[in-house]
Structure 1
């Protein structure tokens, strides 16, 4: 297996990191910030709509889909993809209006910044997941030139995840009455 690229001193993982950065940067430049943000908002809203209304559609689908679980999955997916399609069409129209203003150069520059930020988030999340595997004990991982620069961000994500799971663990271990007392308004309020 290739531990480093011939004569460059870079491990293959470094080239993969650079590939993710270049790909995301290129997509950001090509699409521009407005289109990138509209796309991100569309995906988030479509997921939210699927979460909110997927079960409502599942009830309507149960006459055709006999399995309750399958109808829930089908309903949620239908709401997700239907919402995503509608939001993408709306986003495309907004993007066309923005291009009519003539600010495409600034839009593409800011898209590059967004692409770089997205690449860093993706890489840090992959390295975070790698912490739960044998990757950190592997030679290719330890010979990486770029991973040490990303480790502080990975450590920050690890700390945030630990805090989040600690909070959830405390919530899971609490008694239902204590939870209701903590979140329910009292008569005095």
Structure 2
């Protein structure tokens, strides 16, 4: 059952990539990364304007981060619309959609890897359905790669992930 859910998530991600296209998907991903980074690193620019207006310095910090986050997403959203229009006008939409499909599959795989990282934090990897899965071992391989590239401040809070044997569950012979 879990394998069908995982395959469904990857398939939905792939279809979204196919319909939206590669460049809009790439702009969307970059916008979230830049928005989070900008909100975290430039909240000090907005924070003085909020000083004393909310009542809690911690809340003012998070509101400033939120304002920057939303602002960056809006700017990237406009940029994404412009790029989508240019792609449509140039006739590259078929190539863009095919690349979008590949991007969607890759995104689905990363989602699986992230899900495995979080599932291992709450010991779901000990469950019988986890052990019986034929797809989760691939997710463990992705999770292992993700774990290795995360900053140490993040990865130290996550359980180590051993690369699983992807032949698990296959008959011997």
Which TM-score tier does this pair reach, normalised by the shorter chain? 0.7 to 0.9
User: Which residue matches 2:160?
Assistant: none
TM-score, scaled relative to structure 1 = 0.74
5+ unaligned residues in a row in structure 2: which ranges?
A: 157-173
Residue 53 of structure 1 deviates from its aligned partner by: 2.1
Which 4+ runs in 1 deviate beyond 6 A? Answer: none
Computing the radius of gyration over CA atoms, which structure comes out larger, 1 or 2? 1
1:77-156 matches, within 5 Å, as 77-156=66-145
5+ unaligned residues in a row in structure 1: which ranges?
A: 1-11, 169-189
Residue 151 of structure 1 deviates from its aligned partner by: 3.2
Residues 83-130 of structure 1: CA distance to partner in whole angstroms, max 9, x if unpaired?
Answer: 211221122112211211011100000000000000001101211222
CA distance 1:53–1:16, change in 2 (3 Å): same
Count how many residue pairs are aligned between Structure 1 and Structure 2.
156
Residue 72 of structure 1 deviates from its aligned partner by: 0.9
TM-score, scaled relative to structure 2 = 0.80
CA distance 1:84–1:157, change in 2 (3 Å): closer
CA distance 1:102–1:131, change in 2 (3 Å): same
1:1-189 matches, within 5 Å, as 12-159=1-148, 164=152
